């Protein structure tokens, strides 16, 4: 039985960092990376997304190999980016392809324990999220990155706040945003005041807000508590997917104990720390190593 269903188009990306360069395009994407991490943590997952004819066979075979149930629709194009990071970790995004919006909600949604909505570029509109909400009472975990992206005048990706976000946020139980996304949504720079930024993000309508700050950790607000989460110190080979796998680790721990948000945040940090030590979809995330790193953070900082 599929227990976690994620909505978001997969992408095949080319990634260039100061220390790594993929050999061609590799499987990635917000919801895809979350499913990859969750499946390695022992959770049954399914991915809903659209892929072009050029990658459809590869995509389906890769998901089967990774233990993820594919709920795939055909699109004229496969989505993808060329990501180039500088020495500070800042990146540029050049679009290699764009898949069309997701149109269906699989019947398996009725048995889901949780739902992830993690779009790459405008493929999970308000009406889809409303349809998901109408089909299940399971908590929705939103990574808003793809809701906040559009093409700028130069053809590159820019950030903006869509009018529909005000209606989407209250449909979600958890919203996890990075520092750029948080500032777009709230107008507050979370590097200056992470607690206020997380509170303002929660006030958009979700029950729990998470703001991730890379090496500075993350901050969680549930309306009663304001919780600072440390980062797990490591050497980042490739930061692509750090936030995606943080959300996966948080969700994994949250389903086991929804009251211990500090441990859930530390589990997210631990999971992401393993992911960024590698490039591509094969990071060796294991339950044992995630638990070891989580325990280290909890013992040191609680």
What digits encode the pLDDT tens for the residues 89-137?
777 778 888 999 999 999 999 999 999 999 999 999 999 999 999 999 9
pLDDT at 164: 97
- Alpha carbon distance 6, 120 (integer Å): 12
pLDDT at 153: 85
pLDDT at 236: 85
Q: Which bin fits 240, alpha (ψ -120 to 50), beta or left (φ > 0)? A: beta
- Alpha carbon distance 96, 89 (integer Å): 21
Average pLDDT of adjacent 10-residue blocks, the chain of 302 residues: 88 84 86 97 96 93 94 92 79 84 95 96 97 97 96 85 97 97 97 97 98 96 96 88 96 96 98 93 95 96 82
- Alpha carbon distance 264, 260 (integer Å): 6
pLDDT at 22: 79
53 in Cβ contact with 13 (< 8 Å):
no
The residue segments making up the domain with residue 279 are 4-301
pLDDT at 92: 79
pLDDT at 2: 60
Specify the CATH number for the domain of residue 225: 3.40.1190.20
Number of domains in the chain: 1
pLDDT at 156: 80
Q: Which bin fits 110, alpha (ψ -120 to 50), beta or left (φ > 0)? A: alpha
φ/ψ of 8, rounded to 5, equals 165, 135
């Amino acid at each position: 039985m599929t227990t976690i269903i994620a909505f978001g188009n997969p992408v095949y990306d080319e990634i260039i960092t100061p220390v790594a360069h993929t050999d061609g395009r590799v499987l990635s994407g917000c919801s895809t990376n979350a499913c990859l991490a969750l499946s390695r943590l022992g959770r049954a997952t399914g991915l809903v997304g659209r892929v072009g004819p050029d990658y459809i066979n590869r995509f389906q075979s890769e998901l089967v190999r990774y233990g993820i149930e594919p709920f795939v629709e055909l699109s004229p194009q496969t989505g993808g980016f060329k990501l180039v990071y500088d020495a500070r970790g800042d990146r540029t995004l050049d679009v290699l392809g764009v898949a069309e919006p997701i149109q269906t909600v699989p019947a398996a949604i009725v048995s889901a324990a949780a739902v992830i909505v993690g779009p790459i570029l405008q493929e999970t509109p308000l009406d889809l999220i409303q349809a998901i909400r109408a089909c299940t009472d399971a908590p929705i975990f939103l990574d808003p990155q793809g809701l906040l992206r559009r093409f700028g005048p130069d053809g590159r990706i820019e950030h903006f706040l869509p009018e529909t976000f005000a209606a989407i946020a209250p449909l979600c139980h958890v919203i996890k945003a990075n520092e750029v996304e948080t500032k777009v949504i709230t107008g507050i720079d979370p590097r200056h005041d992470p607690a206020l930024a997380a509170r303002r993000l929660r006030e958009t309508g979700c029950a729990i807000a998470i703001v991730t700050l890379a090496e500075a950790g993350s901050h969680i607000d549930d309306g009663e508590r304001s919780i600072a989460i440390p980062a797990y110190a490591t050497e980042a080979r490739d930061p692509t997917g750090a936030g995606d796998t943080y959300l996966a680790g948080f969700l994994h721990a949250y389903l086991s104990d929804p009251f211990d948000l500090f441990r859930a945040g530390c589990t997210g940090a631990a999971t992401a720390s393993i992911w960024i030590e590698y490039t591509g979809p094969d990071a060796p995330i294991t339950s044992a190593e995630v638990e070891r790193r989580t325990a280290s953070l909890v013992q040191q900082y609680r």
